[in-house]
């Protein structure tokens, strides 16, 4: 892959020690720069040096926040996921009823990552980027992925209560939903050589299949989810 040379940015004002507003602004600039470099040249294009040059800070300033490239990418990944969480909350809140909110959560997950394909590849495409390193960033506490999972659990529990299912299989049903959605996104966004059906029809059919599979799992357990 061709290495992308980042154009040096004008030197920016230094972050004032202890100033949360300055730190938040720098965090946003670093995340945006890393995502832009990733979109242009993939994983190889993102480094402490390339991001610092794009933002207009010294590499040494970057090292105060990230120990290495893996830590930088893990931090960026965590903040990218926050966008998905906030979008899902906004969409689901507008729906009424457990079943409607669950279906809204399915569509919101697909909507967000389909409109942010570069972020999707960064968040879900590399095993070396993960929660073990996200917390090490000194740029500030990353959004808590546990909060996102807890919210997803609330959505699944609301569905279970509306359809009269026990809460016994909520975790399994939630895992089933996430696995199915990631499989769909990987197939349609990564495996492009396959001659997929008309996109809108395929997507609607898949949303319905995910909804039905989750409801069967909640009502009857793992053996029924595949019927």
* pLDDT 10s digits, 81-96: 888 999 999 999 999 9
Eight-state DSSP code of residue 75: H
In this predicted structure, what is the pLDDT of residue 200?
A: 93
Cβ neighbours of residue 113 closer than 8 Å, sequence gap 6 or more: 84, 119, 120, 185, 189
- Give the per-residue pLDDT at 148: 86
Tell me which residues of the chain have a pLDDT lower than 50.
Answer: 1-6, 8, 132-137, 139-141
Contact at 8 Å (CB) between 87 and 112? Answer: yes
| Cα gap 29→194, rounded to integer Å | 37
Q: With beta carbons less than 8 A apart as the criterion, state whether 147 and 199 touch.
A: no
Residue 127 is predicted with a pLDDT of: 56
221 φ/ψ angles, rounded to the nearest 5 degrees: 90, -175
| Long-range contact set of residues 30-36: C-beta below 8 Å, sequence gap at least 24 | 30/55, 30/62, 30/65, 30/72, 30/76, 30/139, 31/75, 31/76, 31/79, 31/80, 33/6, 34/72, 34/73, 34/76, 35/76, 35/80, 35/118, 35/119, 35/122
Look at the pTM and tell me if it is higher than 0.85. Answer: no
Read off the DSSP letter of residue 9. P
Give the pLDDT score at 14: 61
Tell which CATH architecture fits domain 20-225: Orthogonal Bundle (1.10)
pLDDT of amino acid 224: 66
Q: What is the pLDDT of residues 131-168, one digit of tens each?
A: 544 444 454 445 567 888 899 999 999 999 999 999 99
Domain positions in the chain are 20-225
For residue 7, give both structure tokens: 């154009």
């Amino acid at each position: 892959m061709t290495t992308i040379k980042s154009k040096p940015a004008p030197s920016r004002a230094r972050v004032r020690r202890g100033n949360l507003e300055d730190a938040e602004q720098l965090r946003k600039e670093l995340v945006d720069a890393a995502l832009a470099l990733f979109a242009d040249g993939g994983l190889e294009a993102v480094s402490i040096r390339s991001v610092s040059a794009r933002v207009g800070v010294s590499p040494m300033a970057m090292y105060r926040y990230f120990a290495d490239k893996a830590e930088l990418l893990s931090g960026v990944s965590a903040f990218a996921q926050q966008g998905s969480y906030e979008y899902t909350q906004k969409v689901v809140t507008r729906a009424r009823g457990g079943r409607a909110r669950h279906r809204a959560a399915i569509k919101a997950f697909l909507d967000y990552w389909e409109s942010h394909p570069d972020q999707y590849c960064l968040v879900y495409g590399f095993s070396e980027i993960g929660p073990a390193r996200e917390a090490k960033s000194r740029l500030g506490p990353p959004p808590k992925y546990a909060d996102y999972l807890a919210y997803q659990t609330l959505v699944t529990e609301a569905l279970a209560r509306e359809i009269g299912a026990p809460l016994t299989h909520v975790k399994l049903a939630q895992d089933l939903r996430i696995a199915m959605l990631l499989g769909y996104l990987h197939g349609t966004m990564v495996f492009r050589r396959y001659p997929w059906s008309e996109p809108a029809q395929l997507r609607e059919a898949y949303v319905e299949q995910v909804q039905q599979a989750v409801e069967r799992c909640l009502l009857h357990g793992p053996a029924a989810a595949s019927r």
